Each structure stands twice: as structure tokens, then as C-alpha cells.
Structure 1
Amino acid sequence: MHTSTREDAVTSLHRTPFRRRRLGVTFVVAGLLAAVGMTGPAAAVPGPGDEAPTVQEQLSDSRRAQTEAAIESGEIPGIDEIVHSDNLTPVADVPRAEGLAGTNSDLAFQGRYAFAGNYDGFVVYDIRRPSDPRIVARVLCPGGQGDISVSDDLLFLSVDSSRSDDSCSSTGLPATEEEAWEGVRVFDISDPRSPEYVAAVETPCGSHTHTLVPERRNVYVYVSSYSPSPTFPDCQPPHDGISIVKVPRDHPERARLSSFEVVFPDGGFPGDENSSATSGCHDITAYPDLDLAAGACMGDGVLFDISEADSPRVIDTVRDEEHFAFWHSATFSQDGRKIVFTDELGGGGGAMCNEEIGPELGANGIYHVRGRGDDLRLDFQSYFKIPRHQADTENCVAHNGSLVPVRGRDIMVQSWYQGGVSLWDFTDSGNPREIGYFERGPITEDVLSFGGSWSAYYYNGYVYSNDQKGLDVLRIDDRRTDGADRVRLDELNVQTQPDYFSRR
């Protein structure tokens, strides 16, 4: 069965006035540590049965006054005002699709189409003309968080919200119920304008995120999930690993749970006052051409050997008990000798980009991959965080990004929720720096509200950002990224990282 709707009318573009903003501008706004808590990173959205993230934290009079003063002085943009550096220019923004009220989440790409996940399903955009993207399909199929990826004629959608069954018409059901369902849905996208729901596989603790490791005949899906409980029949402790789903390309209806691979036989990091305990993984990025994968696993960072796609093997594990609260995601450098791990301090709902939090919390950690073969190890180098302080009303923390394919340099675009989209260079691992940005001003002046960019990825010449207001398309004009626009891919799932230059 499937649920899909088509939107034939062209969606008009909404353009917001913008002004220039100087790189590195700073101002003082007090933090909200007491409100969001540095000890609550496991709230990274959502746990089993949770709904989409919502934040409505009323500011004190003094903090509200500070935010208003910062906007008035121009130190931060006004409400919903767009600002950007000269080298990162908005060329289009499409208001969020009607009928999908949930949180916008991840992105995947194939040919002329962008597939945008949502807690209520997904949207298909025709991006043949990046300056004029058009919605061509909206699929209503609720089950947060809608992590999404594509491979040939197949689309995969994560379900991490307990449902009454696996259908698109299912309703929410407590995870304590035996019949509750969570896992991975599979769609046929041979016609991207009319996706068809063809299969579903239940996985322990659902699927918060997933990562594809494709082969010629099968697609292996590494399923990351966490936060087990003795009260959850389908999500029992210790849940110390990842599920692997095998999907035959010619018969996706035969998709099945292939195995559960134990990653932490010793139980993983037990947690402390600063960092989350490990009870599974949050996200994994595979680099199939190098037979490697990097796992962001709550309290641990992991390097895997994936030469046997159906049986990943741990090579090295690292921890950062002082600065990392919640290991969230990972990105390899083009040569695979560096990995950028992100820390989602506060679970994505906190104001973590103000002066009080500082430059090393809720940031990226850059690691070198040293050694060879089974002797590979992760070696910490430095932290990177956007230098643009945000208001106390703005949720902001390191989130999803991708490489910009440039020979000889390591450059990323990355989402920071209401911190916007950052373009940054980590070629010098010990001295990473922001070289461009795009952001909107706060949603409100008096309430900490959830919003902003969930994922910002570079694809075939442009940056696409799945913002809570809709799809933003940005163009990079910078000599440091010259040549990137000549790199073309037929398909991109950022968590299945390609060797950009071997495919040209």
C-alpha cells in the first residue's frame, strides 16, 4: 500500500529582503543552561514514541531585553531577516509544503530531484533549475523523524515514532505496547513524481537514522537507534549495537532484518554529568570506496571497517568527556584521513551558540585518522564552532553538513539550526575557520522556539538547506571552491559519502 499525493501547480517563490553581515561579529547574550540543561543531551530528538521537537521556553525580562537590544543595534538580524556573506548567496526559497506539518529533517538527491524528509513523510522537489525548484510530490506517511535516502529506484524512510502498524495511515501508539511498530519504510521511486510504498521492516528501538551501504544486488541499511527501556517490548536494554536491514534491489518487498551487530560489547560509555551514556548509535556515515564508516554513538565516536557490508567491525573508539555531550553525526574528508564529528549539545532544542556556552561546546570535533589497516586510530585535533553568536531565543548547535568537493582543500557546508548555514574550511585541522554563512534572524524575541536548518548539503553546484520554513537554495562564489561546480553526481546520500573525484 502507499500514500502519495501529487502537486502539479508551481509553488511560487517567497523572497525575503536581506542585508550584509560582517563575519565574526560578536555580542553578549546570556545563556539558558538552566532551561535546557547540559546534562540532557539524550533528548536528541526523538526517543521511541516521541513526537517532533517543540521548544517554547519563555525568556526572563532581562534576557528578552538583551535580545531586543541586540536586534536593535544590528548585532543580530531582525525577526526572520536574512543576512549572508558575499560568497554565499540565496537564489531561491520554497515555502514548506502544505499538508506536512511535522519537522523538516534530512535530504537526499538523485538526478534532477531533491528528496526532503519530514516527520510526517517526505517531499520531492524538481531542482533541474536550482533558482526555481518546484514541488512535484508530497507523501504523507507519519513516523518521525523521516531520515531519508535513495538508491536507484528505492527510497528509504526512518520511523522512530511508535505507530499502531507499518502503514502510512497508522496512528501513534505508546512504545510500551507490544504491537507498536517502528523501523524502516521502503518506497519505489521509479517515478519520483508518484512514489509507491512497497515494504517495511521493523527494527529494535525503531530507526532514528539510517545509512545505506549499497552493493550491486542488495542495499544494506545500517539502522541507528537508541534509548532502550525495560518497559519497551521492542526496545530492550542493553541495545548496544546497530540493526542491519538487507533489501534486494530486484525484490524490495523481500526486505528483512539481516542481523543486529554488537558495537559495544562492554556497554559503551556509561555517561557522566557532561556526556550522554551510550545505548546505541545516533548516526553513521559510510565511505564505501574506502571500506570505512564513522559512527556517532551518543557517548562514543567509532571507526568501522565495512569491507564486509553485512558485518561492520569496530577498529577504534574515542570519547571526549569534557566537551562532547552527544556524538551526533560524522563527515570524512575527501581522502578519508580526517573525520568531523558533531556534538548536539542540548538535543537540538537549546540556545547553544551564545557567548556563555563558548566555542568548544555544541561544536564540531576534528580528528585525524592515523595508521593503516587494523591499526587505524582517531587522533583529536581541534574544535570548530560558528563565530556568530545567536540570540537566547534561537536553538543552535552543530548539525548536518557535507563536503564541498574541492581538490586539495577540506571545506564543508553545515546546518546549525537557527544559526543558519556555515561554509567553513578545515584544511588546517588545527585552525578551522568559517569563510561564509547564510542565516535568518530569530523566530521570536521573547520565546526560545525550535526552527532553522536541519541539513545543508552541497549537490551539483548548489547548497540545499532543509529549513523549518522550507527549502533554501544557495550559491557559493568563492575562489577557494573553484572547480566544485564541475563535479557532478547522479545520486547523493551524504551519509553514504562518495569519492567525488573518482566518479568524474
Structure 2
Amino acid sequence: MTLLNDPRTRRRRLGVAATAAGLLAALLTAAPAAATPDPGDAPVGRTEVSKNDVNEARKAIENGEIPGVDEIVHSANIEHVANVPKDALPGTNSDLAFQGKYAFAGNYDGFRIFDISNPKKPRTVSQVLCPGSQNDISVDGDLLFLSTDSSRSDSSCNSTTQPATEKSSWEGMKVFDISDKRNPKYVAAVETACGSHTHTLVPERKDVYIYVSSYSPSASFPDCQPPHDGISVIKVPRKAPQKAAVVGFPVLFPGEGVDGGGNPGAPTNPGVSKTTGCHDITVLPSKDLAAGACMGDGILFSIKDPERPKVIERVQDNVNFAFWHSATFNQKADKVVFTDELGGGGAATCNAEIGPDRGANGIYDIVGKGDKLKLEFRSYYKIPRHQSDAENCVAHNGSLIPVKGKDIMVQAWYQGGVSVWDFTDSARPKEIAYFERGPLSLDGSLGGGSWSAYYYNGYIYSNDMAKGFDVLKIDDRRTDPAKRVRTDELNVQTQPDYFG
């Protein structure tokens, strides 16, 4: 392993190939569909890379500017304590959820349950084959929820892909009973408009509400019609999950005509995705507040009435944000971090040519009170280590590290690895730790790295799309207080009140 004081790590300031300018131009001028994040129906992994980019990466490895293929580098305050390769589910690894001594790992082919009672030796408890793009995952008590964002022949786990133009096609939410972790049981399915790219739990006393984020409607899709300017809300009775059903479709972007009232995208705002729904929503139940990352818009809304969320603030960044991807509140709920998924997760955007402000996080202060809250931009944060043009890299899923009085976050950056960074000073964020691998391969294609990196009960867990389940331990005085904080359950998009 290579540590922080190694010359290879210090020199990771890779210049870019001349072809990067062409990539940048393509990203800036792409039609809205080209900015769609994540792989949709297709697994990540086979985006073609030019020979020039591959040759530049080889030279950078030879010169010690970047790690070698699959070589691990990390800061001195991070320890890589475990890796569990993919097993029976060969698809792309996706999101993570946690409960007690278990971690739940989504995969495009289903999900896997790990026993993490000993984080240094995670043990597979069960693997469930249930193909469906994304398979975004969360848990609540004895229930597990799984998003399906690919058009399927039916709602079963034996379904096959089927065109969205066919009325009989299905996509939406699946519900499993996980009271027996060794033998999860599929108990319910709820079809939702345009499927479920991601979902967010809003737990209530007797019921669980699910906010379903989906997008990219088409007049040719019977179950995904434009303008699709809102979210589906599902109500799941905890004691009768088989009765789960859609109870509403609140419009978040009211407007006239088939385009609704969200960001119009190109040509009005070149390089920005047209808003036709949300990509991800994070709720802070203790404050009755939610933040939505909605393609061309970032929003705050009240969830005092979970069936009828009310938008109270909306912002755009038509200069540096291509696709509003996800959101994270700080503990005091006076800041929110929005991520921009420039290039859809399949492009090399962590280089000098694209720079520090695109494909980054946007940090906003939340000012005001009640329904008068406003979002005020403060700064961008992007990992300071340039990646090669053979590595897909952009801001992706992360979580708070619960340190009272500080705002510290751990975050996945695909092949940019895992970054731990401090945004206590909103205007001057800084990285304090990192872990990454060198390029996945130099065979002319890219697509891998950490999809989600979350802090849970003393450790960082990362679901690498290609390499499997990683466990990291950070040893740093700035994050050490978090080791004393424990939670029984963690769905990162349902943020806990750690100190309430």
C-alpha cells in the first residue's frame, strides 16, 4: 500500500491528454438525454476510452503520477481493513443501507446482506437474485425496499427486459420481508410512473412513506408521460406491507404545457439537464425538511405533511452544474451539499481540463426560518487529486460523519475513490483523508469505482461497482469523536438526528 508521504501520492496531479478538450466540449454541448446520470437500463462498465487517453494513463503510471491498475493508495489516516469481492451477483454494485450488525448492498442483479458484526471480516448472510436497474436499497424494521428503474416484463424477480413503449411493462418499487436475513421474502410490488431510479423513506409511526424519484418521460411511454414534474409517494403499512400503494404524485415544478416548470435545459441553458423529475431526495425528519436534487434544479421542501410535500426554495446553477444528483444536510440543517453528476458517472471529469468547479459538490448555506428558508451558494468542493482520462470520476453518494460542532462528510467519487472532507467553513472546504485504486483497466474501456461511501458505527463502508464491498477505518483526531456515536439503522437519504 502507498501512504500519504509516498512520492507517487504527492505527485498525483496528472495533466490531461489533448483529447480531453474534445470530451469537455461534448459534455458542455450534449443534449439533455446525454446528461442523464447513472447507467439506466445498462450496467456500468463499457464506456470506450480513446487510445490517446489509454496511452496517457500508461505514461502517468510509469512516471508515478497515478497508481497502477488496481493499485491501492490512501492517506496515512485511512486503513483498508477488508474487501469482499462480488460473488453470485455479477452486476454493478450500487447503494448501501445498514441495520444493527448488517449491511445491505444493492446490485443491478439483486442485493446482498452482510454480517458486519466484525467489520474486519464481513460475512455474506444471503444473496437475492432480482434483476432491475439501480436496485437502490433501504431498510425499515423487517422491511427492505428496492428500486427498479428498467422496463421489465413483469414485477417478479424472474422478469426480463421489455420496451417501455409496451403498456404491459413494469417498473417501480419492490418490498421484501427481511425478518429472516438468511431468507428474505418478496412481499409486494408497486408500479410507479417512470419507474424508481432512487427512493427515500419518510418513516411515520404506523406507516412508511416512500418518495420515489424518477425522470426522463416520453410521449411514447404509456406509463411515463411528460411533463413528469413531480414524485410518486407510496404509503406502506408496516403491519400489512402487501397493501403498499401510491397515494399521490405531488407536482414540484408547476408550469404550463408538456415541459412543466422546471429548468428547460438546452438550448436555453446549454450543458444543463432539463428537469423532468428528481434524481434523489434526502429528508431530515427531525426538522420536517427535505432537499431534492432534480436534474436541472435544487430544491428545499417541507415534509410536515409527508403526503403533500411543499417546495419552499429552488435554485439553479446554469454555469457549473450539469445534473443535480444528490443532497446531504449538515447536522444543524443550516447547510446542504448538492452534487453534480457531470457526464453521468461514465466520464473522466476529475482532470485539470474540466477543473475544480464542474462535476463537483455545491455547498449552500440555509438561511431564514420556517417557510422563508433560502439557499445561498458558498463554494464548490472537488477532490484535489486529478485522475486519468481512463478513469470515470465525478461526485457521487456520501454521508455525514457525526462529529458534534463540525461538518465532515465521506463521499464516493467512482474511480476517484473515497474522500473525507470538512465543510465546517462553507467557503473553504478541504479534504482530510482519502482512499482510491488506480485505473480499473487499460483495455480501452472504463466504468468502476466507489458508488456509495457511508460512515456507520465507526467504519466507512464503500460499495465498489466492480471490486466489491470495502471496509475502511479512519483514525484522525477530527473524526475520532464520531466513534462514540451509534445508530441502530441508517438509510443515508433519511438522515438521522445524531445529537437531538
Residue in 1 that maps onto 2:96:
107
Matched, 1:27 2:27: no
Residue in 1 that maps onto 2:492:
494
Q: 1:92 aligns with which of 77, 82, 94?
A: 82
Worse-matched range after superposition: 139-148 or 51-60: 51-60
Q: 2:279 aligns with which of 275, 282, 298?
A: 282
Q: 1:116 aligns with which of 105, 112, 125?
A: 105
Residue in 2 that maps onto 1:372:
369
- 1:131 is paired with a residue whose SS is coil
CA contact (8 A) 1:38 1:345 kept: no
Deviation at 1:65, TM superposition (A): 2.7
Matched, 1:353 2:327: no
The residue identity in structure 2 corresponding to 1:164 is: S
Q: Distance in 2 between matches of 1:354 and 1:193?
A: 44
Q: Across the two proteins, how many residue pairs are aligned to each other?
A: 482
Q: Distance in 2 between matches of 1:401 and 1:33?
A: 29
Residue in 1 that maps onto 2:453:
456
Q: 2:139 aligns with which of 136, 146, 150?
A: 150
Matched, 1:219 2:244: no
Matched, 1:317 2:314: yes
CA contact (8 A) 1:79 1:442 kept: yes
Residue in 1 that maps onto 2:36:
43
CA contact (8 A) 1:344 1:397 kept: yes
The residue identity in structure 2 corresponding to 1:34 is: G
CA contact (8 A) 1:348 1:396 kept: yes
Matched, 1:447 2:444: yes
- Measured against aligned partners, the alpha-carbon deviations of 1:128-149 in whole angstroms (never above 9, x if no partner) come to 0000001110000011110000
Residue in 2 that maps onto 1:68:
58
Report the TM-score, using the length of structure 2 for normalisation: 0.94
- Measured against aligned partners, the alpha-carbon deviations of 1:57-107 in whole angstroms (never above 9, x if no partner) come to 13233x333211211121110000000001111011111122x12110000
Matched, 1:54 2:41: no
- 1:34 is paired with a residue whose SS is helix
Q: Distance in 2 between matches of 1:451 and 1:304?
A: 33
CA contact (8 A) 2:137 2:144 kept: yes
Spell out the pairing of 1:260-339 with structure 2 (5 A cutoff): 260-266=249-255, 267-271=261-265, 272-339=269-336
The residue identity in structure 1 corresponding to 2:208 is: V
Q: Distance in 2 between matches of 1:301 and 1:24?
A: 36
Deviation at 1:39, TM superposition (A): 3.9
Q: 1:231 aligns with which of 213, 220, 232?
A: 220
- 1:412 is paired with a residue whose SS is strand
- 1:262 is paired with a residue whose SS is coil
For structure 1, the 5+ residue unaligned runs are: 1-16
CA contact (8 A) 2:85 2:468 kept: yes
CA contact (8 A) 2:262 2:274 kept: yes
RMSD: 1.3
CA contact (8 A) 1:416 1:422 kept: yes
Residue in 2 that maps onto 1:198:
187
Residue in 1 that maps onto 2:258:
none
The residue identity in structure 1 corresponding to 2:480 is: D
Q: 2:380 aligns with which of 374, 379, 383?
A: 383
Deviation at 1:278, TM superposition (A): 0.1
- 1:117 is paired with a residue whose SS is strand
CA contact (8 A) 2:11 2:64 kept: no
Q: Distance in 1 between matches of 2:461 and 2:284?
A: 21
CA contact (8 A) 1:127 1:133 kept: yes
CA contact (8 A) 1:46 1:160 kept: no
The residue identity in structure 1 corresponding to 2:405 is: G
Report the TM-score, using the length of structure 1 for normalisation: 0.94
CA contact (8 A) 2:451 2:464 kept: yes
Deviation at 1:23, TM superposition (A): 5.8
